[in-house]
Amino acid sequence: MKKFIALVSLSFLVMFSSLFTNTSSTEAAGNSKLLITEAKKLIGTPYRYGGTTPKGFDCSGFVYYTHKKIGKILPRTSKQMYQKGKTVHKSNLRAGDLVFFNTSKTKTGVSHVAIYIGNNQIIHATSKGVKIDSLNNSYWKSKYVGAKRL
């Protein structure tokens, strides 16, 4: 009888805890598609230091805004974003992962963030506005720091 009660309790616990676990991979893929759709709508938006709206974005403002549009709240700066999520090797990137760079000539660490959209491409806010670039671009390739999956 004790084994039966333990088994029923364990089954109940597993079913109950599934209500509070992270989204499934299907939901995550759907969220990534929605995120990228929202991000692509903003291509051409001008750069604005500290910008967090479609009037103008800096890199982390763009990532913050697009995630907020799909209901996910992130920290405001690229350095703070880099502290979140699970580290992902460059060879295992998936659409929706955040990709980080050091574009500073004097500082170490992270100073730029972009959204990976697949096919070795990122979408981000640069001094030329929101645009898509290749991770193989010599500039971005040399500045790559790492990636995170939220």
Q: What amino acid is encoded at 15 in this protein? A: M
Residue 95 domain-assigned (yes or no): yes
Clarify whether 112 is annotated catalytic. yes
C-beta of residue 78 within 8 angstroms of C-beta of residue 84:
no
Clarify whether 106 is annotated catalytic. no
* Alpha-carbon dihedral angle through residues 81, 87, 93, 99, given to the nearest 10 degrees: 30
Q: Which CATH number fits the domain that encloses residue 103?
A: 3.90.1720.10
The pLDDT, as a whole number, for residue 142 is 95
Residue 101 domain-assigned (yes or no): yes
- The catalytically annotated residue of 60, 67, 124, 125 is 124
The pLDDT, as a whole number, for residue 107 is 79
The pLDDT, as a whole number, for residue 108 is 82
Clarify whether 93 is annotated catalytic. no
- Measure CA 136 to chain center: 19
Domain that holds residue 131: 25-149
The pLDDT, as a whole number, for residue 59 is 98
Backbone angles phi, psi at 103, to 5 degrees: -100, 0
Domain tally, the chain: 1
Residue 3 domain-assigned (yes or no): no
Q: Which of 89, 86, 81, 96 is nearest to 27 (CA)?
A: 96
pLDDT along the chain (150 residues), means of 10: 43 41 56 96 98 98 97 96 96 98 88 97 98 96 96
The pLDDT, as a whole number, for residue 1 is 53
Residue 86 domain-assigned (yes or no): yes
How many distinct helices (H) and strands (E) make up the chain?
Answer: 5, 8
The pLDDT, as a whole number, for residue 28 is 62
Residue 89 domain-assigned (yes or no): yes
Residue 48 domain-assigned (yes or no): yes
The pLDDT, as a whole number, for residue 105 is 80
The pLDDT, as a whole number, for residue 2 is 54
Gap between the Cα atoms of 128 and 32, Å rounded: 24
Gap between the Cα atoms of 38 and 30, Å rounded: 12
Element (H, E) at 100: strand 98-101
- Both tokens of residue 86? 């699970």
- The catalytically annotated residue of 112, 113, 116, 147 is 112
- The catalytically annotated residue of 59, 98, 110, 122 is 59
- Both tokens of residue 80? 């703070």
Residue 78 domain-assigned (yes or no): yes
Residue 9 domain-assigned (yes or no): no
